[in-house]
Structure 1
Amino acid sequence: MEAFTQNIQVRWSDLDPNGHVRHSVYFDYGAQVRIAYLQKQGFGIDWMKSHGIGPVLFREEAQFHRELSAGDQLVIDVQLSRLSKDNRKWSMRHRIMRGDEICATLNLDGAWLDLKSRRIAPPPKELLEKFETLERTEDFQVFPRKKEE
């Protein structure tokens, strides 16, 4: 499986009046890394538009472990934590790290959205082949499609 990380420096504009990183910034960091991963694999915004498919999120949550400060050098990874048998739905995890210290963990659930029908759909084969190479979490699971879908 392929590990993907991105380095990010905490900026002054990421802070609230108390000098803490604003909670919404953690989610921005995660989105930046996910999109960077897809772009590196050749599936950027233009590819998604031309193929009529894109990611959609259902849930995103953060666990904050350590305080971050302006200027901190972070490494943020992305791992696949769940994938449906039909490859339409997935879950990911990001670890936001300063050195060896995990400062926050983001967990999210999403799917591939057919941009024309506005319905959840399996990704094109070439996207799936690259997506399946993403590093998996230690507790990775395959989950079945629900009967009501």
Structure 2
Amino acid sequence: MYLKEFEIRWSDIDANRHLANSAYLNFMSHTRMSFLMELGLDQASLAKEQIGPVVFYEHLYYFKEVFPGKPIKVSMEITGMSEDGKFFEFQHNFYTHKGENFAHCEMMGAWMDLKTRKLTALTNDFLFTFSGAEKAKVFRVLTKEDTRKFSKDPKDLEV
């Protein structure tokens, strides 16, 4: 499990004076990018290959309020990846300075070719690196069908 510590800043607080929902997203994004950078998938290497990560969804579950004054930690685990590395799934947990879990998130994303603006598999080097990273106990191999939880056809959404 990858873990990153954060200070709750004034700009991370909302009108209720607790951690704002947008701050959760920013902390998770920063944690993911720090993890990728440590794997060697930094901005320079991503720019060289002309690929970037895209988020399909982030399902966030809040358990308890958190306030400024004490650091928090955000974890990240790889819970799924397609065989070609195109699709990935991560989970995040948020912890107080005492180690109490106050939020959980499940997210799914993919890699995008920045020239064609279409989803793409990872290069062999990136796939080797990403595949070698530690996986969560609940890790699963993803398929394209795993990314299609909801239909795009409006008549399928009728009540």
| TM-score, with structure 2 as normaliser | 0.83
Deviation at 1:29, TM superposition (A): 0.3
Deviation at 1:129, TM superposition (A): 2.1
Deviation at 1:133, TM superposition (A): 3.2
In structure 2, stretches of 5+ residues that fail to align are 146-159
Is the contact between residue 84 and residue 127 of structure 2 (CA under 8 Å) also seen in structure 1?
no
Tell me, yes or no, if structure 1 residue 140 matches structure 2 residue 134: no
Counterpart of 1:127 in structure 2 is 126
**Superposition misfits of 4+ residues, deviation over 6 angstroms:** none
Deviation at 1:100, TM superposition (A): 2.2
| TM-score, with structure 1 as normaliser | 0.88
Deviation at 1:73, TM superposition (A): 1.3
The structure that has the greater radius of gyration is: 2
Moved more, 96-105 or 24-33: 96-105
Moved more, 75-84 or 22-31: 75-84
Deviation at 1:126, TM superposition (A): 2.0
Counterpart of 1:13 in structure 2 is 11
Higher relative contact order (CA 8 A, sep 6+): 1
The alignment covers a number of residue pairs equal to 144
Deviation at 1:74, TM superposition (A): 1.1
Q: Distance in 2 between matches of 1:76 and 1:54?
A: 22
Is the contact between residue 79 and residue 136 of structure 2 (CA under 8 Å) also seen in structure 1?
yes
Return the structure number with greater helix share: 2
Tell me, yes or no, if structure 1 residue 26 matches structure 2 residue 8: no
Deviation at 1:40, TM superposition (A): 1.6
The CA RMSD measured in Å over matched residues stands at: 1.5
Return the structure number with greater strand share: 1
Q: Deviations over 1:76-121 (max 9, x none)?
A: 1111111123321011111111132111111111011111111111
Is the contact between residue 79 and residue 134 of structure 1 (CA under 8 Å) also seen in structure 2?
no
Is the contact between residue 12 and residue 23 of structure 2 (CA under 8 Å) also seen in structure 1?
yes
Counterpart of 1:95 in structure 2 is 93
In structure 1, stretches of 5+ residues that fail to align are none
